[in-house]
Each structure stands twice: as structure tokens, then as C-alpha cells.
Amino acid sequence: MAVKDSIEGEVSLKKAHDELERRVDERTAELGKANGELDRQIEEHRRAEKDLQLDRHRLKNILEAMNDGVYIANQQYDLEYVNPVIEKEFGPVNGRKCYEYFSDRKEVCPWCKNPEVFAGKSVQWEWHSFKTGKTYELFDTPIPNSQGTVSKLEVFHDITERKRAEKALRESEERYRSLVETMNEGFGVADERGVWTYVNEKFCKMLGYSCDEIIGRPAIEWLDEANRKIFNEQFTRRRQGECEPYEIAGIRKDGSTVLVRVSPKPILDETGHFRGSFAVLTDITEMKKTEESLLKAFSEIKALKDQLETENLYFRQQGRIRHQFSNMVGQSNAFRYVIYRAEQVAPTKATVLVLGETGTGKELIAAAIHQMSPRKNRPLVIVSCAALPANLIESELFGREKGAFTGADARQLGRFDIANGSTICLDEIGELPMDVQAKLLRVIQHGEFERLGSSKTIKVDVRIVATTNRNIEEEVREGRFRPDLFYRLNIFPLTVPPLRQRKDDIPLLVNAFTERYAKELGKQFTSIQKETMKTLQDYNWPGNIRELENVIERAVILCPSPVLKLADKLEDLTRSSSYGLRTLEETEREQILKTLSETRWRINGKNGAAEILGLHPSTLRARMHKLGIRRPALSE
């Protein structure tokens, strides 16, 4: 029994010993773990202290590298830190309180007593230092410290130059505002939307509104639909940097219209973006009325001047024709018969149709009829129907009222007005457009017409002498000439014979032309070679008297001896005289003739000769007249 108890006691003792060892091991493990955690915490603390030192060093470097001044003061106003900028501005601290250091004060500055500075709030304010003579923008920020209290970090930002610039800007704005308000012109500023942000008093008076009624409202509110379009187009140009002046009409408060010249300028920000526009506005309402009155008066004066110049032109032309008529020579039966027929019809009022080839002197015969008529004291009015543009010939013949068509700025008398009581020569009447032929027929039948742009009938007493080198009867058959007009014109036809049918007149004409051009050139000729005269009489003269005159003039210029002879063979004269102009007039003539042939002599309209050649129809007709291009009688 005793042995058994002893054994059980040993067993229990062993268990207790094992339990004790286990607990010791657990405690040892716990202590080891705690020591490891303590070591880790110690290491983290050391690392944090090191990081804090690095942060402090970095912060110090930042503060000392700043362009702004920085200082830190505690709640007792002791300066804990100042950066080099502060020391440079205010000198060494030497243990002084912040109010002593910055302001040389004996007590705390009133603004430092602000409880918000040490109550967790940031404060921003401005301060002028009499010590440095500068103005600073101050930023106060509370920062907690290791003692559990709050210190003040204050940043000094020097704004002296900015304040000076702001002051200068304010003074400049005041000066310019005073200038703008005393201007005689209106002045306005609009933002990028076209809304007025500023207008001066003169601008308000222009529209009859107060400034409060205008500012803040879109500029287009004072414009009608047409002028809104103008404004929008111009404002778009401002966005693109353009600033050309323009004119626009606004509506006043009383409903009347004010005309304004706008001189704009775009407003751009520092990046070049459009931020609006300002403009000087000049009231030109009265100026426009004055301009219109002056233009009207000028138009009337111009019309009178043009009328006088036209009459003078006809009188000078009359003198030239009289001179030519007095020098008309001829002894052939054909020529004498023409003069006889002219003498028969001259005293009457009958309409005369003078027919004949180009260069036969049809215009001189027309002038002769006028000079032998009772109307000889009035100027003979000659109208070249081939030279006048088709779109102007009606207004040239019958006149026009102001505004009859675009460009008709004044009333203009027509050729029939000027020829009232006299004779009008319609040279190359076959060139008249069909619509004008109808009006001409009315003048012949009833002696009346209306000016373009007017319904008033004008009565005139005009005798008509028409000339043409065309076969008018053939033109009538082809539908290019009105038959009723032809019958009215053909009352007294008179045909001027070509030079080839007046061979006996050639010596007289040659002597007359030689004497005239020799006198002009200061030369003297005693005779004319017989061979020369025979050559001249044998030539066919397709250009008639005009060609003969040109040949003699050329011979007088080139002949060095007192005996007149031709410089070149007659058949080569035309080719040799035009050789030098081949690349100019002759080339142009051939091109125009070719184009007219291809278009069947159609000048106007789509695919007409004028369009193909790239010319205005009136320009083409003028070139045709200058180059002597006439539509053949049988041309389609």
C-alpha cells in the first residue's frame, strides 16, 4: 500500500514538473516575442526619428530656398525661426519678440491679437512695413508643436510692385474713363457674346437710352434684321483678329434711325483668345444726308456738264465734217450724180438711207445733206451704232432717268434730245439690236419716245439720215432687220459708188491727199510719177477712198524726192504695213473673226463669242469697231 502510494506520488510529482516546464517554455516564448516586438518598435521609432529629421531638414531647405519670407512665432510671440529672406529684409533677430523685430513696437501688434491665428484658422491680410517701405501679403497658418501648444507660421509675400502697378492701372483707367466720357464719339465694350459691358454717355445719347438700359444687353437688340447680319459678320471678323471700320444703322428709342461708323478692335487675353471687342462709334447720320445732297447736286452738275461737252463735241465734229465736205472732190458722172441726188433731198424732211461699201464716204454724204438743209445751223449728231455696246445703245439714243438701271446715277439726255431741231446720222444702222429698232421705228413714225426709267413721252423734231454697208434687203429676208423699219428708212435711198467705179476721180483725190499730207509734214512735191498714177487707177481699191487716203499718206511720209511715188508695190502695201502689227491687231482680228464665224456671229449669251473670248460684249463690240470687223451681209 505504501509502495503504491509512493509510486503515485512520484507520478504526480513528475506531471507537476512537466507542467511547470511547459509553462516556463510558454513564458519564455512570450518573453521572446515581446522582446522582438519591443525591438521592432524601437527600430520603427528610430526610423521615424530619422525621417522626422530628414523632413525637418527638407522643410528647412525649402523655407530657406523660398523667395518669400517665412517666420514661426509661439503664443508668447517669441520668434522660433526666420528664413534668410526675413533676415535680409529685417536683420538679425537677436532674441526679440516678433512685434519688436518687425515693427519696433513695445507691445503686441493689434492684428496679432486676432484669436483666429492660434485657433486653428488660416488668415490672409496685407501689411505695409514702414521699416522696409514695402507692402506684403501675409499668410498666417497655425501649426501645433511638441508641447501641445500652437505656433504661428507666417509667410511674407512682397506685393510692392503689384500694388504700384495696380495703382498705376487704376489711375490709368480713371484717366481713360475720363477721356472716354468726354469724347465726342460713342464708345462701347462688348464681351465675347456681343453683350455690352460698358458704354459711354455719348453712346447712350446716340440711341436715346440710359447706360443702365444698354449695359448687359446684346448689341443686336438695337438693329433690324439686315443690320444684325452685318453686325454678326463683323463680330465674326473680330474673332479672327480683323478690325476694319464698317457702317451700320441702329434704331433709336424713339424709332428713328441713326447711321454709325464703327471702328472696332478685338480684345484678346494673354493666351491670344478672343474675349470681346471695343469700338469707337461715330454718328454719321447728318454727314450721310449731306453726302446724298452733294451727290445729287454733283449728278445734276455732271449731267449738265456732260450735255455741254456732248454739244461741244458735236459742234467740233460738225466743224471737222464741214472741212472734209468742203474738200470733197470728184468729177466722175457717178460722183456728180450722188451730189445731185443729195441736193434734191436736202431741203426736205425726208428720211435718207445712204448705202455703200466701207470707206466710200457715206458719212460725208450725210453731212452734205445736213449742210444743204435748213437745219445746217444746228449741229449734226452722228451715232455710230456699231461702236455703242448693245446694253447701252438704247440709253444713248433715247436718254435715261436717274436710277433707270445700276450705275445710272444721274439723268442723261439721249442723242435724239440733242438732235431736236437738227439732223441725226445713224451710222451703220444695220448693227442696231432688234428691240432698239422697234423704238426707232416709233420715233420715225410719230417723232416721240420715252427715256429709260420714265413713262413720260417726249416729242422731238429730228431728221434721220441712216448709213449702212450691209445689204439691208438681205438682212430683212434673214430676219435680222425689221421690215417695217426698212420701209420707213428706204424713202430716199442714195447709193455711194465704190472707188473702182470712179476711176476718173482718182487723180483728183491723189492730188488733194498729197497736198494735205505734204503740208502737214512740211514737204513739197512737184509731180506724181505716171507709173504711180497708172498703178493707183488700175488697183481695185477694196477699201475705197479711205484705203486710197492711207496709201497716199504712207507714200508722202516715205518718199524722199519731190516726185511722189509709192514706197512699195500696191499689192504689197496692206501686208507690209501690217507686218509689224501682226502679233497684235492682226492676230486679234483673226481670232475674233474665227470665233464669230464659229458662233454664227452671235456675240451675247451663253457660248457666244464674248463668253468664249472672255470679254464683256460691249468690249468685244468696241474691239470689232476699232479693227473694222463688220458682219458680212450673207453671214448666218
Q: Are 211 and 115 within one domain? A: no
Q: What is the per-residue pLDDT across 289-345, written as a single tens digit (0 to 9) for each?
A: 888 888 877 766 765 666 555 555 555 555 454 444 445 678 888 888 889 999 999
Residue type, 68: D
C-beta of residue 124 within 8 angstroms of C-beta of residue 111:
no
**Under 8 Å CB-to-CB from 518, ≥6 apart: which residues?**
524, 525, 556
pLDDT: which is higher, 46 or 467: 467
Q: Is residue 478 domain-shared with residue 592, that is, in the same domain?
A: no
Q: Which cell numbers in the block locate residue 404?
A: 433707270
Q: Which tens digits make up the pLDDT trace of 187-242?
A: 888 888 989 988 888 888 888 888 888 889 998 888 898 898 998 988 888 888 88
With a CB cutoff of 8 Å and minimum separation 6, the contacts of 413 are 303, 307, 310, 399
Within a domain: 476: yes
Give 462's pLDDT tier (boundaries 50, 70, 90).
very high
The single-letter code of the amino acid at 109 is: C
For residue 207, give the amino acid letter. Answer: L
C-alpha angle 164-166-167 in degrees, rounded to nearest 5: 65
Single out the residue in 428, 460, 491 at which a domain terminates: 491
Whether residue 484 is found in the same domain as residue 502: no
Q: Enter the DSSP assignment of 582.
A: I
Pull the grid cell for residue 264.
472696332
b/e per residue, 196-217, with b = 16+ CB within 10 A? bebbbebbbebbebeeeebbee
CB 279 within 8 Å of CB 266 = no
> Is residue 380 domain-shared with residue 316, that is, in the same domain?
yes
Residue 85 lies in a domain: yes
Q: What is the per-residue pLDDT for 19?
A: 80
Looking at the structure, tell me whether residues 330 and 453 fall in a common domain: yes
Q: Are residues 192 and 272 in the same domain?
A: yes
C-alpha cell at 181: 466720357
Residue 130 lies in a domain: yes
SS3 259: strand
**Which pLDDT band, with edges at 50, 70 and 90, does 494 fall under?**
very high
Q: How close are the terminal C-alpha atoms of the chain, in Å?
A: 166
Which residue, 587, 591, 565, is CA-closest to 578? 587
Distance of CA 552 to the CA centre of its chain: 53
Whether 336 and 480 share a structural domain = yes
8 A C-beta contact, residue 544 and residue 357? yes
Q: What is the layout of strands, in order, in the sheet containing 123-129?
A: 79-82, 69-73, 150-158, 134-144, 123-129
For residues 391 and 325, state if they share a domain. Answer: yes
The answer to whether position 289 is within a domain reads no
Of 163, 194, 211, the residue that ends a domain is 163
Sign of CA dihedral 314, 316, 322, 327: negative
Look at residue 466 in the predicted model and tell me its pLDDT. 94
Closest CA to 284 of 186, 409, 183: 186
pLDDT score of 276 more than 50: yes
Name residue 369's amino acid.
Answer: I
All 3 cell numbers of residue 215?
Answer: 449695359
* CATH code at position 635: 1.10.10
Q: What is the CATH number of the domain that holds 555?
A: 1.10.8.60
> What is the domain extent for residue 273?
183-283
In this structure, what C-alpha cell is assigned to residue 190? Answer: 462688348
pLDDT given for residue 317 in this prediction:
52
β-pairing verdict for 79-82 and 527-528: unpaired
Please give the grid coordinates belonging to residue 137. Answer: 501679403
Is residue 174 in some structural domain?
no
Contact 95, 103 (CB under 8 A): no
Beta-sheet pairing, 196-199 with 186-191: antiparallel
Q: Residue 364 and residue 370: Cα distance in Å, rounded?
A: 10
Instruction: Indicate the pairing of strand 448-450 with strand 457-459.
Output: antiparallel
Q: What is the predicted pLDDT for the residue at 289?
A: 85
Answer whether residue 369 is part of any domain: yes
Q: How many domains does the chain have?
A: 5
In this predicted structure, what is the pLDDT of residue 635?
38
Answer whether 44's CB lies under 8 Å from 38's CB.
no
CATH number at residue 352: 3.40.50.300
Residue 544 lies in a domain: yes
3-state secondary structure of 500: helix
Query: What does the alpha-carbon distance between residue 265 and residue 274 come to, in Å, rounded to a whole number?
Result: 11
Cell of 213: 438700359
Distance CA 211, CA 254 (A): 16
Distance CA(80)–CA(72), nearest Å, equals 5
Domain boundary among 491, 520, 542: 491
- Based on the domain organization, do 350 and 471 belong to the same domain? yes
pLDDT band of 580, cuts 50, 70, 90: very low
Distance between CA atoms of 627 and 591, rounded to whole angstroms?
Answer: 12
What is the DSSP secondary structure assignment for residue 328, as one 8-state letter? -
How many C-beta atoms lie closer than 10 Å to residue 28's C-beta? 10
> Which stretch of DSSP H or E encloses residue 509?
helix 506-521
Q: Identify the three-state secondary structure at position 305.
A: helix
Question: What SS3 state is found at 38?
Answer: helix
Q: Where is average pLDDT lowest: 29-33, 184-188, 358-362, 464-468?
A: 29-33
Q: Do residues 435 and 480 touch, judged by C-beta distance below 8 A?
A: no
When pLDDT is cut at 50, 70 and 90, the band that residue 129 belongs to is confident
239-259: per-residue pLDDT in tens? Answer: 888 888 988 888 998 989 889
- CA–CA distance, 373 with 422 (Å, rounded to integer): 10
CATH number, domain of 134, equals 3.30.450.20
The answer to whether residues 230 and 278 belong to one domain is yes
Residue 339 CA to residue 162 CA, distance in Å, equals 103
Query: Quick one: 232 and 363 in the same domain?
Result: no
Considering the domain boundaries, does residue 1 fall inside one? no
d(CA 181, CA 173): 12
Query: What is residue 467's predicted lDDT score, i.e. its pLDDT?
Result: 94
The region, left, alpha or beta by phi > 0 then psi within -120 to 50, assigned to residue 43 is: alpha
In the predicted model, is pLDDT for residue 581 greater than 50? Answer: no
On average, the pLDDT of the chain sits at 81
Instruction: Specify the amino acid at residue 360.
Output: T
Instruction: Enter the pTM of the model.
Output: 0.45
The grid coordinates listed for 604 are 451675247
CA distance linking residue 514 with residue 30, whole number of Å: 150
| Grid cell locating 319 | 466743224
* Location of C-alpha cell 509731180: 527
Same domain, 364 and 418: yes
